[in-house]
Structure 1
Amino acid sequence: MPQNGLGLTPRLRYLAARARRIDVGSVVERAKEASEQHGKWTPAIVADMLWQAGFRNVGFQDYIDFDFAILNRDERATYMTHPVSNQLSQRYDDPAFRHLFHDKVAFDRVFSDYLKREWMVVEAGNADEVRAFTERQGTVVTKEPVGQAGTGVHRYHAADVDDWDAFHRGLLQRGEILIEEVIVQHEDLAAVCPGTVNTTRVTAFFDGEQTHILAMAQKFGRGAVSDQMTFGGFYTMLDENGHAMGAGYDSHANVHELHPDSGFRIADFQLPMVDEVKTFVDQVARVVPQVQYVGWDIVVTPEGPVLVEGNWGAGVYENKPSVTGIRTGNKPRYRQAIGF
């Protein structure tokens, strides 16, 4: 187990950057949100948010999302936060290899064996190939090489295309140069939201010998091409056996006991093939061992897990106490695996 810590210099650099970008108005608005939800005095929350950000590595949105206003010091210490996650990414994800995760075309090339679906790249002069691929698939997903939170992802149906040269030209002009076969998800995922491919975020750390699973979250969409929050999606944390820890929630104060469209009770969700998912994560974590700390997006299909993407900036998914009643997070697991 590594015992390297995170180092003071990166932390100070991060805090300095945060101080230069601080939006006091945004902090106050978040504090008012927490005040209304938890019955706390707004000025006290503002002061606490600033203290936590400056001395405890807690992002302002972390403070709101993870209900820090109702947690004591020991409980707060169990939560992974975005500033700490960012420091881990900077330390353990080699800059020389990050582009393989940042660029979706490069990612598909490197991890092609684990995608388990067809894909192609749009180039000048290959309109016929694009047409053949799209007509064979019926429906395809296109992606811009660089994007985050689901931006740059689109879905097209071959039956809707009248002019294939114009379709090809439009893809090039908009930068949607990666085309992929649509994933067919497991029926247990489709039972919650059939219109969106619902991904499982598995945050993991590869120490050079062993892959440690740090946290698992199940994301659910609302019928759009992506299950990200920008498309109305939400998530629930999963326990080590792949069972939902409670209702679903997002960063916009929305809580979903039931899926708004299907009526599925989120707390009843069980990730299928969870052992296969863990084995799969261990396999993909070894492909680029120089990038050790990754948030893997995976979909379980009837045949097993497939890879959607890997995020070298893993981000943070955590338990929300006001929703689940559980007042602890995943940071002890991170500490045990990484040693910071």
Structure 2
Amino acid sequence: FREMRSIYVGTKISFIRKLFYIVDYVFAFIIQGASISDYFAYGFYKLRYNGRKEYITYRRYHTIQNKCNKISDRCLCREKNKFNTLFKDFLGRDWIDINNASEIQFVSFCHKHSVIFIKEINGYRGIGTRKIETKKLNVKDLYDELVSDVNSHYIAEEQITQIRELADFHPWSINTIRIVTVYDTKNNEVHIMNARLRMGNKKNSVDNFHFDGIGANINIETGIIDTIGYDVHNNVYLTHPITGKQIIGFQIPYWEECKSFVHRAAKHIPTVRYIGWDVVIQDGGRFLLIEGNDNADHDFQQLHNCGLWRQYQSIIKEF
């Protein structure tokens, strides 16, 4: 009942009430396919059938993924070296596949860039990402360390910049736009299903929602943030807790151009039609992709806004 206690802080819950939650959750799992996280995150304990059917649950999320994304091609998103190769025209940054590079090539890469990020090719949610200041260490030793790790495969990328308006939220991280698309290949139409701003917090170097980051919904039509900020612990924010920059009402710069950018990216990989794109906006309206997630979290898309299952159903029913 850890999730339950986080909702009813300081409230004593009777045995009968606890029993209700257990039984009610079992029904939500059987009927809607809700995980325990879904049940509390979306407030299913307050909703009945008509309300619950609006939400993408764990089971419905897998329905979307299985209908949209060819299993054999999901690696094109999940393995960073393959993604960077396929989307080389969308990256906007220098990178190197360390395990397939010579020591001389890696040393040359490090001499070219004073700050690099080391990533495992199968890493997710920012786990395992290392920020390296190349002038402060022996890069040959670093190369030997990375290539001798038989359990991992690494890439290195140069540090990137972001537009000042977004950096002001949390300048210690790159604050990305997560845009989720579904590509209807039959009608050659890309549907933007959800858009959210992701902000770092606590001076972390990544903005990932599941690594203490903050999210907020972006109105797809206007590009204006129309919800408060929130984190995975159900804390809410009118302003960023460190910088004080107001979240709700913020206009994402170059929004129409940003949508066009992800439309082009989505059409670049027609066998993986459901993707959450992490986009960086740079000065002058330039864009680059950090990554594309074929398994974009369904909770991040719906928290503090509304259920999206009906919208997804209307598009994927023909797939």
TM-score normalised by the chain length of structure 1? 0.83
Map of 2:146 onto structure 1: 171
Map of 1:299 onto structure 2: 280
Deviation (angstroms), 1:149: 1.4
Secondary structure at the counterpart of residue 182 of structure 2: strand
Aligned residue pairs, count: 307
Matched, 1:193 2:176: no
CA distance in 2, matches of 1:251, 1:54: 25
Matched, 1:74 2:50: yes
CA distance in 1, matches of 2:175, 2:254: 15
Map of 2:189 onto structure 1: 210
Map of 2:111 onto structure 1: 135
- Aligned-pair identity (%): 24
CA distance in 1, matches of 2:257, 2:239: 27
CA distance in 1, matches of 2:160, 2:49: 43
- The one of 45, 49, 56 equivalent to 2:25 is 49
CA distance in 2, matches of 1:155, 1:333: 39
TM-score normalised by the chain length of structure 2? 0.88
Secondary structure at the counterpart of residue 74 of structure 1: helix
Amino acid paired to 1:339: K
Deviation (angstroms), 1:211: 0.4
Map of 2:216 onto structure 1: 236
Structure 2 unaligned segments of length 5 or more: list them.
Answer: none
Alignment of 1:1-340 (within 5 A): 28-36=1-9, 41-123=17-99, 126-161=102-137, 163-174=138-149, 175=152, 177-208=154-185, 209-222=188-201, 223-240=203-220, 241-302=222-283, 303-316=285-298, 317-321=300-304, 328-339=306-317
CA contact (8 A) 1:89 1:314 kept: no
CA contact (8 A) 1:257 1:266 kept: yes
Deviation (angstroms), 1:38: 9.2
Structure 1 residues 39 and 335: alpha-carbon distance in aligned structure 2, compared to 1, 3 A threshold: farther
CA contact (8 A) 2:118 2:131 kept: yes
Structure 1 residues 37 and 127: alpha-carbon distance in aligned structure 2, compared to 1, 3 A threshold: farther
Structure 1 residues 125 and 33: alpha-carbon distance in aligned structure 2, compared to 1, 3 A threshold: closer
Structure 1 unaligned segments of length 5 or more: list them.
Answer: 1-27
The Cα offsets for residues 253-293 of structure 1, whole Å up to 9 and x where unpaired, read as: 32222212211122133221111121111111111201111
* Two-structure CA RMSD over aligned residues (Å): 2.3
Amino acid paired to 1:104: K
Secondary structure at the counterpart of residue 262 of structure 1: coil
Deviation (angstroms), 1:201: 1.3
